[in-house]
């Protein structure tokens, strides 16, 4: 009779094969870096641009919709001045223009100022290589990152800036915070791994510390990504024709956004309590949808691709097919891939593999971090903390479970779009209706 006391391996379960001892060591001891490597950047175009360059029937059949969107955008921007002139005697509504004409160039100059401040992350790495104690550099890291937020809040409140200036400053603050934090934390991990590999007599898996140089860091600051890695795929040349096409798209898109705000948002907002919440939401539903689509088109499809062209950054997957989503968990992953990647690497993975927390706690902390950051931006803009956005975002956690039944089904996509069309204007109305201030859109 055969001895069955010795356990046998399941034929379906395969042992992981590593290309080298170094890769095995990284996977076992620096799993965060192993995950970064697996999610590394690769050359690829953005989805909407593929409609223009791919000749396959699946893509070419969608070109008409892309052309239609561009024609509608151009038609809306070109015809509106004639309509507005016949109604008011002026070519355009100056309400929003009045919010950014004052100190416009001063605000624009803060962009290079934030960029220069971000070099503190590079200085920190150089100090580490010079032998400065790590605990002092941790203080330096959090101090330089915190001071950037403190300065931005003080600037927006003391200057009493309106919507446009405040949004620009806060977005610059968050973007440069992400870049500084990712550069610092990733290099901390690369350094720790390099020291451990050297101690064990194994070959290095990364170019650290040679990647800590001024050229590498400057390129990273200019590249359209919020997460640092020691190498990025690059195109052979800058496609100047495409770059100028993107510039034209940005100009037309911004004009369309301007017109939507002036002609549809401001008149409804100013009514305040004269109209019900439901009425305001219904009136804003379609303008808000087009506003959101134009924002997506301008930022994710045009501006980011523009920076990608100038830096020859080849990985243009800034978003996935979020319009096909069948639940909101999928939407959170797809609509803003560059922010999602930062949250995944530096909040979720950090909690999971560095702090050794549970998967649920890591997910919860990721959601809380994102929600509080969104609330911070809205609070500085409105000069008031309401926690409405945090509440809506946390409500999505049980909603993920509820909507699992419609995952991958057409009904799920219908529910998704229904929520987008009504949910976004509802949040907007709840924030603005109660405390509309003239400083946001001055007369």
Is residue 324 within 8 A of residue 413, CB to CB? The reply is yes
Region class of 76: left (phi > 0), else alpha (psi between -120 and 50), else beta: alpha
Is it true that the peptide bond before 431 is cis, omega within 30 degrees of 0?
no
Query: Which two structure tokens, joined as six digits, stand for 328?
Result: 């909101």
Phi, psi (degrees; rounded to nearest 5) at 160:
55, 45
| CA nearest to 186, candidates 141, 147, 224 | 141
Catalytic residue among 29, 49, 120, 374: 374
Alpha carbon distances (Å) from 129 to 126, 134, 187? 5, 10, 11
Cα(397)–Cα(370) distance, integer angstroms: 13
Cα(185)–Cα(192) distance, integer angstroms: 11
Give the alpha-carbon dihedral of 201, 207, 208, 209, to 10 degrees: 110
Is residue 261 within 8 A of residue 299, CB to CB? The reply is no
Return all residues near 24 (Cβ < 8 A) that are at least 6 apart.
Answer: 18
Cα(428)–Cα(418) distance, integer angstroms: 16
User: In angstroms, how far is CA 87 from the centroid of its own chain?
Assistant: 39
374 is catalytic: yes
Polymer length in residues for the chain: 443
Cα(368)–Cα(65) distance, integer angstroms: 37
Instruction: Look up tokens 């134009």; give the residue.
Output: 294
List residues with catalytic annotation: 374
């Amino acid at each position: 009779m055969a001895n069955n006391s010795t356990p046998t391996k399941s034929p379906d379960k395969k042992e992981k094969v590593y290309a080298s001892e170094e890769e095995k060591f990284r996977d076992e001891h620096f799993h965060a870096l192993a995950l970064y490597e697996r999610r590394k950047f690769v050359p690829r175009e953005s989805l909407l641009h593929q409609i223009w360059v791919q000749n396959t029937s699946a893509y070419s059949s969608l070109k008409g919709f892309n052309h239609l969107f561009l024609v509608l955008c151009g038609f809306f921007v070109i015809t509106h001045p004639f309509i507005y002139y016949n109604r008011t005697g002026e070519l355009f509504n100056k309400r929003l223009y009045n919010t950014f004409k004052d100190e416009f160039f001063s605000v624009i100059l803060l962009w290079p100022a934030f960029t220069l401040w971000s070099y503190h992350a590079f200085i920190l790495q150089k100090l580490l290589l010079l032998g400065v104690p790590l605990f002092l550099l941790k203080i330096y890291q959090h101090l330089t990152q915190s001071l950037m937020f403190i300065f931005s809040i003080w600037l927006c409140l003391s200057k009493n800036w309106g919507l446009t200036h405040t949004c620009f400053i806060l977005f610059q603050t968050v973007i440069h915070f992400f870049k500084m934090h990712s550069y610092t934390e990733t290099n901390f991990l690369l350094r720790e791994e390099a020291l451990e590999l050297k101690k064990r007599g194994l070959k290095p898996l990364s170019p650290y510390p040679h990647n800590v140089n001024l050229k590498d860091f400057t390129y990273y600051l200019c590249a359209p990504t919020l997460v640092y890695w020691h190498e990025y795929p690059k195109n052979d040349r800058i496609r100047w024709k495409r770059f100028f096409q993107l510039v034209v798209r940005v100009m037309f898109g911004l004009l369309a956004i301007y017109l939507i705000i002036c002609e549809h948002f401001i008149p409804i907002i100013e009514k305040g309590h004269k109209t019900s919440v439901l009425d305001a939401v219904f009136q804003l539903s379609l303008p808000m949808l087009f506003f959101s689509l134009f924002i997506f088109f301008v930022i994710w499809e045009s501006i980011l691709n523009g920076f990608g062209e100038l830096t020859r950054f080849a990985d243009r997957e800034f978003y996935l097919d979020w319009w096909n989503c069948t639940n909101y968990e999928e939407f959170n992953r797809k609509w803003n891939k560059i922010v999602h990647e930062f949250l995944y690497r530096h909040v979720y993975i950090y909690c999971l593999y560095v702090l050794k927390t549970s998967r649920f706690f890591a997910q919860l902390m990721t959601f809380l971090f994102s929600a509080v950051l969104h609330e911070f931006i809205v609070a500085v803009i409105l000069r008031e903390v309401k926690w409405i956005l945090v509440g809506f975002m946390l409500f999505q956690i049980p909603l993920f479970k509820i909507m699992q039944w419609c995952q991958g089904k057409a009904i799920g996509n219908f529910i998704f779009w229904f929520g987008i069309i009504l949910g976004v204007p509802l949040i907007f109305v709840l924030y603005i209706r109660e405390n509309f201030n003239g400083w946001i859109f001055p007369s």
